[in-house]
Structure 1
Amino acid sequence: MKRNGRHSVAPPVARLIQDLRAELAKKIAWFIGSSERKVTQIPGMVLVRRTAPTAPCSGTYTPSVIVVAQGSKRVDLGQTTFTYDPSQFLLTSIELPTISQVVEASEAKPLLAVAIQLEMPMVRELLNREDVHVSESSPATSAMVTGEITAELLDACCRLIDLLANPQDISFLSGHIQREIVYRLLCGPEGARLRAIATSGDQSHRTAKAISWIRDNYAKPVRVDDLAQIAGMGVSTLHHHFRVLTRMSPLQYQKQLRLQAARGRMLIDGMDASTVAFEVGYESVSQFNREYSRFYGQPPMRDIKALREGKVVAMSVA
């Protein structure tokens, strides 16, 4: 159907999406109750509920798809901002340090979302099937993208959550529905990003190796020459693809991981700033304090005190 020269969703499909979105919101609300975050019995599935907008908070998004049934949220990846809401899902294909915040939520109409972890072996398995057709890759696409929600994706999410009412069915059926969700993502416009990360030999896949090394060794000094060797590409090529995927340089990526780790250790383990600075790889406490203050808006111990008093949010993952 076209209106004024533009494509529009046929009314029956639009109504179906609206009904499925309302159904998904009811199911999430029922199973999460008054909690803000619920790790479910279904492997890799988390339910999220927020009753008010939040201040920006840091966290790491893992390979996952997040579907919002109600409310909205924004995520800053480097200098790029993504907004996901009932019309847009968020797809993340590698681990990414981000700054995020809930922008639309209230007691009467809370943010309600489901986050489903993506397993790359499952993605590769489906890519090896001849009957799975993935769209061509778009240039300069980051490892985080938003996509238009579909009735098929909403329906699969509803059926996955339904399994929580019958836990005995989870071990047999959850994997099948999660495969369907991956299939829906691969066949959509955003599927090319998943394919690029999962396919051996693709430059995105090779860049992801360097990203994984930094993630696993963030406290160690980073030499771009070494990262390029890990990725099997030239330094300039690695820099280009690293920025495309993460919207930041290797050093900026490492810095965010270090600061997030330091914040968690001070908050959870009670470590002091001087000790944690060296633990996460800084060579001087003054540099750590300076970069921490710039990133979180205040010095380490003042920030941790505010976290413990509930004045700021520690982290966000969905």
Structure 2
Amino acid sequence: MLRLLLAAVSQRYAEAGGIDDLPTALPWLGLVRRRAPTPIGRGMLEPSMCLMLQGEKQMLVGERILRYAPGCYVQAGTAMPVSGQVMRATDDEPYYGIRVDLDLKELASFLLEMRIPMPPQDDDPPFVSVETAGKALLESLERLLRLLDRPSDLPVLGHLLKQEILYHLVTGPGGPTLTRGLMGGRHESAVNKAIGWIREHFDAPLRIAELAEEVHLSPSVLHRRFKAATIMSPLQYQKQVRLLEARKLLMSGGAEAANVAFQVGYESPSQFSREYRRLFGASPLQDAEQLRGVAPAP
């Protein structure tokens, strides 16, 4: 089954002229190829399922390293700042992946409508996990890839196949990762609200006591539950969101590092530069120039 999936993906890349990131006619489905190991990349992992077909990759979430290999997928039930790196890929044996973006409102509606019983879960399952794809899930994804060659069938059958994929995800061993914030109890809902607040107000001072009051938890319970779910503290989560937003601003050009520091909520440009270098391995100016392909100033 894995071989059939790989053959289907390879064909799509050939038709696309060999590009490495291939969008499809389905806005929630993307295909990825890498022909060499990559440097560490950092960004926000949005709710999604990413299946590896060939190669090897590792991801850093907070202090936890997740490694996965062909036939495995990483899934996220909420937006998470992560670092990722393709460890094994060559011209002859590229890294291949399939990404299915997840709409949490769609997922919640699906769970309620289908009345799907949830598998038992640990007290605090994380919002990100690596799972091994079962035969039924692989078969669904294979049919989805084959459907790309029948554009007239995509609007109807694509939707049905996505529901089938959701079913296999939520009823599989990693189901709690996706459903914890949607179908969990008061604590799970509060952590999701806290994540949403931090992402929306990343440039504002983060006071744990006030955030805990906002989501109706005690500060100690919020801290413990938040770290169990995201593998980082609320302050660590905010710092990574701030630095990722700063990188976007620097990439767009026209803004000095000191001004960007203030825009994302730092009071000290020197502290911003230190933490930026620690995360991205270069100063804000050097990193922005490298990303834009500009030769650094002598």
Q: Shorter-chain TM-score: which interval?
A: over 0.9
- Cα distance, 1:207 vs. partner? 0.5
**SS across alignment from 1:278:** helix
Deviates more, 1:29-38 or 1:140-149: 29-38
Could you tell me how far apart the structure 1 residues matched to 2:105 and 2:166 are?
A: 11
Q: How has the CA–CA distance of structure 1 residues 120 and 39 changed in structure 2, closer, same or farther, with 3 Å as cutoff?
A: same
2:95 to 111, 134, 145: 111
Unaligned runs of at least 5 residues, structure 2: none
Determine helix, strand or coil for the equivalent of 2:67. strand
Partner of 1:142: 126
Give the equivalent residue in structure 1 for 2:233. Answer: 249
Any gaps of 5 or more consecutive residues in structure 1?
1-16, 312-318
2:291 counterpart of 1:307: yes
CA distance in 1, matches of 2:225, 2:15: 41
1:162 aligns to what?
146
Amino acid at match of 2:82: T
Q: 1:38-82 CA distances to partner (integer Å, 9 max, x unpaired)?
A: 222202111111110011111110110001111121110011011
Aligned pair 1:42/2:42, yes or no?
no
Are residue 191 (structure 1) and residue 190 (structure 2) matched?
no
Tell whether the 8 Å contact from 2:29 to 2:101 is kept in structure 1 after alignment. yes
Residue in structure 2 matched with residue 121 of structure 1 by the alignment: 105
Provide the rounded CA distance (Å) in 1 between the counterparts of 2:96 and 2:166.
Answer: 21
Q: Trace 1:72-91 onto structure 2 (pairs within 5 A).
A: 72-91=56-75
Q: How does 1:222-233 map to 2 (within 5 A)?
A: 222-233=206-217
1:27 and 1:310 map into 2 onto residues whose CA distance is 35
Q: How does 1:232-311 map to 2 (within 5 A)?
A: 232-309=216-293
1:177 aligns with 2:177: no
The residue type equivalent to 1:175 in the other structure is H
Tell me the matched-pair count.
295
Other structure's SS at 1:222 match: coil
1:216 matched to 2:200: yes
1: CA distance, partners of 2:186 / 2:179: 9
* Paired residue type of 1:256: Q
Residues 196 and 202, structure 1, Cα contact 8 Å, conserved in 2: no
Question: What letter is aligned with 2:74?
Answer: L
Indicate conservation of the 8 Å contact 1:20/1:154, yes or no. Answer: no
2:47 is aligned with 1:93: no
**Any conservation in 2 of the 1:27–1:158 contact (CA below 8 Å)?**
no
Q: Is the 8 A contact 1:32 1:47 kept in 2?
A: no
For residue 293 of structure 1, give the secondary structure of its aligned residue in structure 2. helix
User: Aligned to 2:191, which of 194, 204, 207?
Assistant: 207
Instruction: Give me the TM-score of the superposition, normalised by structure 1.
Output: 0.87
Q: d(CA) in 2 for partners of 1:167 and 1:47?
A: 17
RMSD: 1.9
Go from structure 1 to structure 2 and tell me whether the alpha carbon gap of 1:199 and 1:32 turns closer, same or farther (over 3 Å shift): farther
User: 1: distance between equivalents of 2:210 and 2:190?
Assistant: 13
* Aligned-partner Cα distance in 2 for 1:310–1:93: 37
The letter of the residue matching 1:112 is Y
Amino acid at match of 1:122: E
Asked if the contact 2:57–2:69 (Cα under 8 Å) also holds between the matched residues in 1, the reply is yes
Residue range with higher mean Cα deviation, 242-251 or 166-175:
166-175
Helix, strand or coil for the counterpart of 2:90? coil
In the alignment, residue 143 of structure 1 is paired with which amino acid? Answer: F
Residue of structure 1 equivalent to 2:86: 102
List per-residue Cα deviations over 1:144-172 (Å, max 9, x = no partner). 00111112111111222223222222221
Question: What letter corresponds to residue 197 of structure 1 in structure 2?
Answer: G
Q: Distance in 2 between matches of 1:213 and 1:31?
A: 43
Determine helix, strand or coil for the equivalent of 1:115.
strand
SS of residue in 2 equivalent to 1:165 = coil
- Structure 1 position 24, deviation (Å): 4.5
Correspondence 1:71 to 2:55: yes
- Structure 1 residues 24-33 or 251-260, which shifts more? 24-33
Aligned to 2:116: 132
Decide whether aligned partners of structure 1 residues 33 and 202 sit closer, same or farther in structure 2, where only a CA change above 3 A counts: farther
Matched-pair contact (CA < 8 Å) for 1:200–1:206: no
Partner of 1:9: none
